[in-house]
Chains A and B, each alone.
Chain A
Amino acid sequence: MSDAVSPLNGAKYEGFVTVKAMGLQGMITFRGDLSAAKVKKAVKTVAGTDMPGQRECHMSGDTGVAWMSPDELLIFVPYADVDAKLDELHKALEGQHFLAVNVSDARAMFHLEGNGAREVIAKLSPVDMSPNAFGPGEIRRTRLAQIPAAFWMPDTTSVQIVCFRSVAEYGFNLLKTAAEPGSEVGMFA
């Protein structure tokens, strides 16, 4: 375990919101028939939460499930548990047509904390970040400036973002730039 290094190794920036590169997070890409009873049950067993509906994200700490497309989920489990959880899925769904792979190391994850968290995203993504348009419980896949990304809000003043690992530095620097003191917009205040 000590050999494993997370992207940007815990980098942090204090702007008008706090930007943090998060530690290793277990992530499983799951593809299958999300309406099948067996799949719903297996996902619930592994992630401890009900199957999310379209663009929903059911998260509790480092565990949960996000709806990625009509046949795709992103399942969050502790990093150390990924192999065991994959085994569980494969056992529970034996004979079913599905795909479940470990993508924990292919991703970088960032955390924004502060009242301006929505604004930081609104500078980079073509998404309506006003509270009546987006809030906790939802996930949005889109682009963050020039890279694909997905984000959700653990609570009303924080945002969690996931992108590909190879562009972790670009992603972090984007968020850092957007969070620079003095660049507050005051749009969602």
Chain B
Amino acid sequence: MSTRLATGGRLIDRAKTVEFTFNGKRLKGRAGDTLASALLANDQMLVGRSFKYHRPRGIVASGGEEPNALMNMGEDARFEPNQRATTTELFEGLTCKSQNHFPSLEFDVGAINTRLSRFLPAGFYYKMFIHPRSFWKHVYEPFIRKSAGLGKAPRDRDQDTYEHFYAFTDVLVIGGGVAGLQAARAAAETGAKVMLIEQTADWGGRAMVDGGTVDGEPVDKFVQKILSELQEMSNVTLRTRMMGAGVYDHGYVLGYERVNDHQPDALGPRHRLWRIRAAQTITATGAIERPISFAGNDIPGVMLASAVRDYVVNFGVSAGDRTVVVTNNDDAYRTAFALKEQGLDVPAIIDARVLPQDSVLMAQAKAQGIRVIMGHGIAGVKGGKRVTGVQLCSQAGEGAVLEDIACDVVAMSGGWSPVVHLWSHCGGKLNWDEANAMFRPDVYKAPMGDAGEAFVSTAGAANGHFGLGDLLEDAHAAGLAAATATGAKAPKGFDAPKGITVEEAPIQPIWLMPQGAGPKKRMKAWLDYQNDVKVSDVQLAAQEGYESVEHAKRYTTLGMATDQGKLSNINGLAILSDALNQPIPQTGTTTFRPPYTPISMSSIAGEARGEIFQPLRKTVLHDWHEENGAFFEPVGAWRRPYCYQQSGESVKDAVIREIDGTRNSLALLDASTLGKIIVKGPDAGKFLDMMYTNMMSTLKPGKCRYGLMCGENGFLIDDGVVVRLDEETFLCHTTTGGAESIHGHMEDWLQCEWWDWKVYTANVTEQYAQIAVVGPNARNALARLTKDDISNDALPFMGFKDIELDGIPCRAYRISFSGELSYEIAVPASYGRALWDKLRAVGAEYDVTYYGTEGLHVMRAEKGFIMIGDETDGTVIPQDLNMQWAISKKKEDFLGKRAQERSHMADPNRWKLVGLETVDGSVLPEGAYAVADGENANGQRNTQGRVTSTYYSPTLKRGIAMGLVHNGPDRMGEVIDFPKVDGTVVQAKIVDQVFYDKDGEKQNV
């Protein structure tokens, strides 16, 4: 059984008990435990079920590479699936559940799949679910959906907060082990700005467990010394619980800081995503131990050798009472020593190698009386939900069992793989190191930055240096090189500390144990524990022609589990290489992509949630709208009232009431969102002549003119009223959505094409609140607030005048989008609410109405006015809308002129704008198409037009519409058919697009 030892555990505080719950069981751990160490201390080795066969799964590792111990963590608003027990720090009240089993972890119905495993090989899903085709939708897909996924999806809104932080540094060191500390120390000595981040809560990395000697002292003393030195340096930033998640172009690095995961009730964000720019990044990310592929290597109790000793040394937890070590290298011997030191039983070290002489560590093992069996391997592991023993065999043979050895833990080591993920994210290349059987960074093919220079380097075990001597030299050099690459000067006489490298015998690559394992054994030799990929699956993939490692990965799902192949990658591609009979470098690796381990979605969103999910633009009258029943609609980022609902009133009725009120007496509209751009300079007229299709340079000061704007491709992009304020100054009104883009469009042409023209622009959209005072009583109401002459003579249609309304200086424009007598009043935004209130007060006598965007739309459609975005969709030219009157023929050039001469644009067959009147008075569906006889080449019904705007007109008491129709203007009175989605047809008559007050008598009084 696994249990807490009486002594040991450098990271735990034995005096502090921490209670937690696993699958409803109340358990006790110690402060400083990880969830994994606490579970082991409670003899909970079984932690989950595998994905495909639902096989029992135990804790394998002690860090981010753990494939099995994934939990549904927390409850309700703190629930999160797939949380790694090995990287979860224990806290009081932690609640978690294991995943992927039914009805319980111990008894799981889905485990029947393991009996069927013979029928569920690699590619099973692809082969099985393809025929018959008709089964896909109703049989296969629901089945696959049901069995897909590991954890449960959260149901409640996340209660925690998250944030981003932008940091800048000369040198960023990722990894706070001995190499990272030394690299940071060396870089910092030059005076460069240094940031050192470590994913766990503790400094020192593996050396704190494995021990060693630096500068004549134990390595933990060295770590303490260097750490205190770094803490003293003002140019150094140290952060723990912060993982380097990804390295991107131009020195952009994401740091994932788990601020409060270990203290969920503390103030502050749960996670902080650091968006770091580093001139130089050093990846001191260490190495991950590899499993060995032998039959039964997935049975709970088979663990990485390094993890077994981590639990003993760090947490005072033994994974079992009797541990067999199986290895192909010297490092695993350290596990045996750690266990022996605690008085635990190590029945044997099974070493697959055959060596001419004993290494230092082997001799030490023998001296301690441990049975060392060279040249042997494991034929099979005994046990179901827990290891009960191993079968010894010769590594060279086919697995004939020589002896059974009873044990409850197997500590395996297949060698170490440098963590090259971050090096590789942005293009760093790898070399296969034959002698050490590992991929390591190719330092001559580093990721390149904005200046064309390498910006990532690597140090220590991540660079393939494992002994403390080599490792410290390497890290020291990496730190100095990175700092000097940023312009710092290397200090003189500042040397690397002297570490002692213990001489080790070379590793012998073992990709399959025993070497001649037959099909039965290979079917039980797991590569990917979570996704149930075995040696036999990879071999089958190769046999079926999946030769590329990327294809084999997807076909078998090797390395596609939540650990992303951290354990299985190298073993899998070695098996693939063997099956393809080619060397490992030729097979290569799959691509390493960020993040290194999963980061929370919420950390990516950062602060952008709730009311600051996205910026909403509000006019100064927004509060009034809200208080008065506004039903808002988004217009770009703005929120504009669609209509104002009175109690018990439907949206449709509100719109009708608003239009009636406007047409019959008086109404107010918040028109503040319309774009307003000042264009000024001696060449302003000439410039606007290029911007608009109309001639703007001839506009007289004091007058307004409606204008159309096209892009260089000829299509309409915006429209609005241009006001000439004085000889050199124009005010261009744009659509609500167009303010920023049209200002940008103007600046683009001014800065990049006509840079010698004397024109300045300024976007003053938000300087003004703009209120439209509309209706037959508009003048009467305004007259009550001003002594200025606003009569038709003094302020005629399409004119403007500066006036004062009850002491507020305003500018009044006589422009109308509704067809009624209308004044648009602009005031500095700070006075907007005051003016609105004054207008409401005088309007009361005229039974003033407030109307929203829908009323505005309906009234403009009644008048036959186009709306950018309705009548236009990026493929419509002014000629399509019969707006030749707005296109100057006198101008040699304007944006879009040349494009409109292109053959397709000048084609008389283009669809043109007309009014549409339904025969039965109903409202045409939006976007409906008018059908024509015959079919096109694709067998679809031919069309001859489409609806661009369609409304119920309260004024005409019937449906009205505008649409683009083939030869429309020549077909007045003709009735055409618009099929609806329900199969019925609406007939509509082609009519003039102006439905109301064709001569404009109402607006021009």
Residues of A at under 8 Å CB distance from B? 3-6, 24, 29, 31-32, 71, 97-99, 101-107, 119, 122-130, 133, 145-147, 164-171, 173-174, 177-178, 180-185, 187
Contacts and interface: CB of A to CB of B under 8 A. Distances in A.
B272 A177 contact: no
B618 A166 contact: yes
Contacts of A147: 615
**Max chain B Cβ within 10 angstroms of own Cβ: one of A3, A6, A71, A178:** A3
Interface residues of B, number: 51
Contacts of B608: 145-146
A174 B607 contact: yes
Contacts of B168: 128, 130, 133
B681 A102 contact: no
B739 to A, nearest CB: 10
**Max chain B Cβ within 10 angstroms of own Cβ: one of A24, A32, A166, A173:** A166
Contact of A99 (B607, B638, B681): B681
Contact of B612 (A29, A170, A187): A170
Contact of B615 (A31, A123, A146): A146
A153 to B, nearest CB: 16
A20 B165 CA distance: 22
Given A106-B766, A126-B275, A6 B830 contact: yes
B612 to A, nearest CB: 5
Given A5-B833, A126-B166, A180-B268, A102 B767 contact: yes
B888 interface: no
**Max chain B Cβ within 10 angstroms of own Cβ: one of A103, A130, A173, A183:** A183
Contact of A103 (B166, B193, B637, B764): B764
Contacts of B269: 183
A101 B767 CA distance: 10
Contacts of B607: 123-124, 145, 174, 177-178
B616 interface: yes
Contacts of B851: none
Interface in B138-167: 161, 163-167
Interface string B762-781: 10111110000000000000
A101 B614 contact: no
A104 B828 contact: yes
A105 B828 contact: yes
Nearest to A169: B618
B161 A180 contact: yes
A142 B617 CA distance: 19
Contacts of B761: 99
Nearest to B682: A97
A55 B748 CA distance: 22
Contact of A101 (B268, B272, B678, B808): B678
Contact of B166 (A122, A171, A173): A122
A102 B762 contact: no
Interface in B805-837: 807-808, 828-831, 833-835
Contact of B268 (A167, A168, A171, A182): A182
A45 to B, nearest CB: 20
Contact of A105 (B611, B637, B829): B829
Contacts of B760: 31-32, 71, 97-99
Contact of B758 (A97, A168, A169): A97
B828 A145 contact: no
Contacts of A170: 611-612, 615-616
A105 B681 contact: no
Contact of B828 (A31, A102, A133): A102
Given A101-B767, A126-B275, A5 B762 contact: no
B615 A105 contact: no
Interface in B586-622: 607-608, 611-612, 614-620
Nearest to B676: A106
Contacts of B758: 97
A104 B829 CA distance: 9
A130 B277 CA distance: 13
B680 interface: yes
Contacts of B615: 145-147, 167, 170-171
A78 to B, nearest CB: 14
Contacts of B164: 123-124
Given A101-B767, A103-B767, A166-B766, A185 B165 contact: yes
Contact of B267 (A146, A181, A185): A181
A4 B619 contact: no
Contacts of A107: 766
B367 interface: no
A125 to B, nearest CB: 7
A182 to B, nearest CB: 2
Given A98-B760, A169-B618, A180-B161, A106 B767 contact: yes
B638 A166 contact: yes
Contacts of A129: 166
A45 B143 CA distance: 78
A4 B766 CA distance: 15
A35 to B, nearest CB: 15
A38 to B, nearest CB: 16
Nearest to A170: B615
Task: Across the A-B interface, give the 3 residue pairs with the lowest CB-CB distance, nearest first.
Answer: A182-B267, A182-B268, A3-B834
5 contacts: A4-B830, A31-B762, A166-B618, A177-B607, A183-B268
B981 interface: no
Given A29-B762, A173-B611, A187 B768 contact: no
Interface in B239-270: 266-269
Contact of B167 (A4, A122, A124): A122
Contacts of A71: 760
Contacts of A145: 607-608, 612, 615
A44 B277 CA distance: 39
A133 B680 CA distance: 37
**Max chain B Cβ within 10 angstroms of own Cβ: one of A101, A105, A169, A181:** A105
B165 A105 contact: no
Contacts of B922: none
B237 interface: yes
A174 B766 contact: no
Contact of A166 (B275, B617, B830): B617
A127 B830 contact: no
A4 B834 contact: yes
B438 to A, nearest CB: 36
Contacts of A101: 678, 762, 764, 767
A79 to B, nearest CB: 8
A3 B831 contact: yes
Given A170-B616, A174-B612, 6 more contacts: A97-B682, A107-B766, A126-B275, A166-B638, A178-B163, A182-B268
B762 A182 contact: no
A31 B764 CA distance: 13
A145 B611 CA distance: 13
Interface in B668-694: 678, 680-682
A105 B163 CA distance: 31
Contacts of A184: 268
A123 B161 contact: no
A61 B245 CA distance: 44
Contacts of B638: 166
Nearest to A103: B767
Contact of A183 (B161, B681, B767, B807): B161
Nearest to A4: B830
A174 B610 CA distance: 11
Interface in B626-641: 637-638
B388 to A, nearest CB: 50
Contact of A5 (B611, B612, B830): B830
B994 to A, nearest CB: 34
Contacts of B834: 3-5
A173 B268 contact: no
A140 to B, nearest CB: 12
Given A105-B768, A182-B267, A183-B268, A177 B612 contact: yes
A161 B90 CA distance: 42
A24 B828 CA distance: 12
